[in-house]
Amino acid sequence: MDPRFWNQFHQDFYTSICLTPKNPHIATMKAIDWDHMANKNSSVCDSVIEACERFGLKEIMGFRYNWNAEIIAQFHCSFYYSITDNTIHWTTSGIHFAVDYRTFSRLLGLGSKDLERDQIHNEVKLPNHALRELYRVPEMADGETPGLKSFYYVLNNLLHHTIAPKTGDATSIHAYAKNILLRFAHNGCPFSITNFIWEELIAASNDSRRGFPYAPYVMYIIEKVSGICFRKETEHPMLKITRTKQKGAPRTPSPPSDHSQSPPPADSPPRRSHGPSSSRGPSHSRGPSIEKPPSLARRVLEAVFCMCKKQTSDVYEMRKDINDIKTKLELPTRDIGEPPAFEDPFAAHDAAMATWYAAQEGGANVEEEEEEEIALAQPPRRPRCHHGKDPIEEEEVAEEETEEEEEQYVSDHNDDDDDDGNASGDDGSDDEDYEAEE
């Protein structure tokens, strides 16, 4: 057995998981370039810098230290936490080392004052709906970064690369990072940074799916405790903030104003122009379409696909590394075939939906053109006079007068006939006798 490890399990875990040649199981860590943020002349960046300094995070986030990937892998594969004395143990090059909780805090420059603050891991992990006030649109509080307000988007980006590192989907917010973000929203008290890093190291040792966190901090601790200066081939990069919100993030809806027209929210349909755009006729332009954020079901399916894709690739690389080791030991190897190839499962769906939307847009334009043709085919209405009576009303009055004249003429004619009948007879009895005989 390799003398660098305590037992065979540590050795196997080291060779198969911790330090695969092409994909080290180490979480990405970056140091914050505070000077770059301060020189951006951004009110959002200035507010984030001030908040991080108030919470005591500025020094640890800006700490930069290169590391040796092999030494970090040895640390995590031999990591052991002792509950009785609150101490972590590990081996480096076969030598056993340990550090207690207070010494760990002192080496990171955090001190005893930080140990007295609240411990985030004693709190309940917040659900997504508890983050409503962090989002531009509270109804879109889904635990993803695209909808965050600028302040919390930048702050989460800093946490993601420093004290709350994570692997996998970069758009999802780390479990306990939600609790930290909400503390900033409520203007809460600073929390214990030492305890947060300590508990995250223990959690990473219990879950092999998580990438090994805090490589620069761990490397610094190892060298301080062991007194050995190792060659550090992995550079600790700097993080430079380039934007304050996710590309394509929805805008914050604002109340309408009488003097200015605010842009529509992301989930509203595009507005149609009702006025003519030129002398040729009415405009059919609908303006640039606003892309909606993907639905929750779509994001879940994409996350599952990416997780399965990564797992399959990792398994293939692991089997390939095992074959390389067996080849060096002159042992029979296993045929693992070609590297897995993955096609985008959503490409066909997106193409079909794009075709459907294009057809819908085309159909709407055709309906508008038919409405215009029908409108042009209708006879023009009679013009109305702005002075005097309406021509239509005058025509109706003339017709009524003609009807009255005809009724008056008929009435006069009947009266004349009655007068003639009375003059020819002696009295009215003959008429009554005639009517009786009939």
Instruction: Kindly give the residue spans of alpha helices, DSSP state H, lying in 116-249.
Output: 150-161, 177-185, 193-206, 215-226
Cβ 172 vs Cβ 145: under 8 Å: yes
DSSP state of 329: T
Other beta carbons within 10 Å of 101:
15
Output the pTM of the full model. 0.57
Taking alpha carbons only, the member of 128, 133, 182 closest to residue 155 is: 182
- pLDDT tens-digit map of 29-87: 999 999 999 998 889 999 999 999 999 999 999 999 999 988 998 898 888 899 999 99
Angle at 303 between CA 302 and CA 305, to 5 degrees: 65
Distance CA 75, CA 18 (A): 10
Place of tokens 């997106």: 350
Counting as low any pLDDT under 70, the low residues of the chain are 1-11, 13-24, 246-294, 361-438
185: buried, middle or exposed (CB in 10 Å: 19+, 13-18, 0-12)?
middle
- pLDDT tens-digit map of 225-275: 999 999 999 999 999 988 777 665 555 554 444 443 344 444 434 444 444
Beta bridge partners of 87: 82, 100
Distance CA 113, CA 225 (A): 22
